[in-house]
């Protein structure tokens, strides 16, 4: 087997193993495995998805700052990624849950602009509508 094919196979195996750990609820193990994959294959075929799923595993562990950094990797470095819309959505959701509505709105609106017809954009529209319909503290 040529070296390039072996490397591709090794990357796929690393990604699959990390992803299965995440889906099994082993978030700490998944985080470690995705970090190892990203170190070993920084420009691999699965790099964008590894960053996204690393963010999800960090988010599941309530590690907001690292999760934000991971999702921003997807957004900033992989605009054509299949996970780009999902990363924008998750960032909006994180900022919404941490009472940062301006940042949440920024990511939701960017998602709607860049991925208008996606399911994630529909979720962003709903989130924005909910944010705008909530009474402010002064109105209560």
135 has pLDDT over 80: no
The two structure tokens encoding residue 40:
């070993």
For 89-113, how does the pLDDT look when each residue is reduced to its tens digit (9 = 90+)?
999 999 999 999 999 999 999 999 9
pLDDT digits (tens, 9 = 90+) for 35-71: 999 999 999 999 999 999 999 999 999 999 999 999 9
- DSSP letter string, 24-88: TT-HHHHHHHHHHHHHH-TTSTTHHHHHHHHHHHHHHTT-HHHHHHHHHHHHHH-TT-TTHHHHH
Query: What is the structure's pLDDT at 134?
Result: 61
Q: What does the pLDDT average to over 66-81?
A: 97
In angstroms, the CA 29 to CA 12 distance is 17
pTM as predicted: 0.91
| Comparison of pLDDT for 108 and 131, the residue scoring more | 108
pLDDT bin (cut points 50, 70, 90) of residue 138 is very low
CA 102 – CA 22 distance, rounded (Å) = 30
Confidence of residue 1 (pLDDT cuts 50, 70, 90): low
Domain annotation for the chain: domains and CATH numbers: 1-63 (1.20.58), 83-132 (no CATH)
């Amino acid at each position: 087997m040529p070296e390039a094919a072996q490397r591709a196979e090794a990357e796929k195996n690393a990604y699959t193993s990390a992803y299965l750990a995440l889906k099994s609820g082993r978030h700490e193990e998944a985080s470690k495995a995705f970090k190892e994959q990203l170190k070993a294959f920084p420009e691999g075929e699965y790099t964008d998805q590894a960053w996204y799923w690393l963010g999800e595993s960090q988010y599941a562990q309530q590690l907001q700052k690292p999760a934000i950094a991971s999702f921003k990797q997807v957004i900033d470095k992989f605009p054509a990624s299949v996970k780009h819309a999902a990363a924008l959505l998750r960032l909006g959701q994180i900022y919404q849950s941490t009472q940062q509505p301006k940042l949440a709105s920024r990511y939701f609106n960017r998602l709607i602009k860049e991925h208008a017809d996606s399911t994630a954009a529909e979720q962003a529209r709903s989130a924005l509508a909910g944010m705008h319909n909530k009474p402010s503290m002064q109105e209560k």
